[in-house]
């Protein structure tokens, strides 16, 4: 069965303290992997799509990378406004176009 | 920036009542979706809609649920007879093309509370 696992479940950082969030997947074949940001009481906000191992995407302090088994979302010198839940979703090759979401990592950045 | 608009933001309903959740997707998008998120749990797919018909649905989307695009702008989710376990955030999303290479645009959600 296809599965998406995100770790850690929660992460607390000090402002400026860089770290990485992990999304590991066990799917029969990956069509695409998506990262979203979700603020409390809001809908997910699209960040990145990655398609193949070795691919990287960047946006401000965020950089997403992809291997054959997992993706990392690196946060460099985070600020309090980066506090949110970060969701990973995978789209399986040869199957539905509908991506399956992981449970997310809740990030809190303290000033 | 274009956005997906959902109304109401919060709905409280009695068990067994019908509710209609409303969404206005981005105007030039072609694909529409409903997702739900039970408190503390992951975002779950309900249904996708394209060309005025359901293109895909999950096991959650049973006969109690229906979707409709009554005009050129609105997209609705109806729950016929609500249950306590239907309490959740319901998100509408839209996208320009199938395959979703560019991700979905989500609305801010409707918090449904069934009492």
The string of pLDDT tens digits covering residues A37-69 is 999 989 999 999 999 999 999 999 999 999 999
Identify all chain B residues contacting A89, using CB atoms and an 8 Å cutoff. Answer: 43
User: Is there a contact between B108 and A101 if contact means CB atoms under 8 Å apart?
Assistant: no
**Confidence at residue A14, expressed as pLDDT on a 0 to 100 scale:** 97
Across B41-53, average pLDDT? 94
pLDDT in tens, B52-108: 999 999 999 999 999 999 887 899 999 999 999 999 999 999 988 654 556 899 999
Across A78-83, average pLDDT? 97
Identify all chain A residues contacting B56, using CB atoms and an 8 Å cutoff. Answer: 96-98
Identify all chain B residues contacting A104, using CB atoms and an 8 Å cutoff. Answer: 42
* Long-range pairs, B102-106, Cβ under 8 A, ≥24: B102/A46, B102/A49, B103/A34, B103/A36, B103/A46, B103/A47, B103/A49, B104/A44, B104/A46, B104/B33, B105/A46, B105/B2, B105/B3, B105/B4, B105/B26, B105/B29, B106/A43, B106/A44, B106/A45, B106/A46, B106/B4, B106/B35
Query: Nearest CA to B109 among B18, B29, B11?
Result: B11
Chain B closest-CA separation from residue A14 CA (Å): 24
**Confidence at residue B5, expressed as pLDDT on a 0 to 100 scale:** 96
Nearest CB to B101; choose among A49, A89, A98: A49
User: How many CB atoms lie under 10 A from the CB of residue A103?
Assistant: 17
Nearest CB to A103; choose among B42, B48, B89: B42
Q: By three-state DSSP, how is residue A81 classified?
A: helix
**Confidence at residue B105, expressed as pLDDT on a 0 to 100 scale:** 92
DSSP state of B86: G
Chain B closest-CA separation from residue A49 CA (Å): 7
Read off the tokens for A31: 């069509």
Tell me the pLDDT of chain A averaged across its residues.
Answer: 93
Chain A closest-CA separation from residue B52 CA (Å): 18
Tell me the pLDDT of chain B averaged across its residues.
Answer: 92
Residue A86 near chain B (CB below 8 Å) = no
Across B26-44, average pLDDT? 93
């Amino acid at each position: 069965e296809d599965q998406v696992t995100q770790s850690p479940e929660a992460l607390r950082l000090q402002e400026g303290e860089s770290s990485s969030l992990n999304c590991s997947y066990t799917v029969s074949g990956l069509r695409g992997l998506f990262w979203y940001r979700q603020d409390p009481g809001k809908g997910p906000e699209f960040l990145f799509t990655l398609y193949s191992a070795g691919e990287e995407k960047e946006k401000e302090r965020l950089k997403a990378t992809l291997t054959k088994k997992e993706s990392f979302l690196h946060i460099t010198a985070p600020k309090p406004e980066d506090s949110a839940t970060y969701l990973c979703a995978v789209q399986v090759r040869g199957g539905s176009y509908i991506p399956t979401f992981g449970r997310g990592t809740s990030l809190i950045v303290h000033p | 920036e274009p956005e997906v608009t959902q109304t109401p933001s919060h709905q409280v309903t009695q068990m067994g009542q019908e509710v209609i959740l409303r969404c206005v997707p981005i105007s030039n998008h072609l694909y529409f979706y409903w997702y739900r998120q039970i408190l503390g749990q992951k975002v779950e797919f309900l249904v996708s809609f394209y060309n005025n018909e359901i293109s895909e649905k999950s096991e959650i989307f049973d006969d109690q649920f229906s979707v409709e695009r009554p005009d050129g702008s609105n997209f609705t989710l109806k729950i016929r007879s609500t249950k306590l376990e239907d309490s959740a955030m319901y998100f509408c999303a839209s996208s320009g093309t199938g395959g979703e290479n560019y991700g979905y645009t989500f609305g801010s959600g409707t918090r449904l509370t069934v009492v």
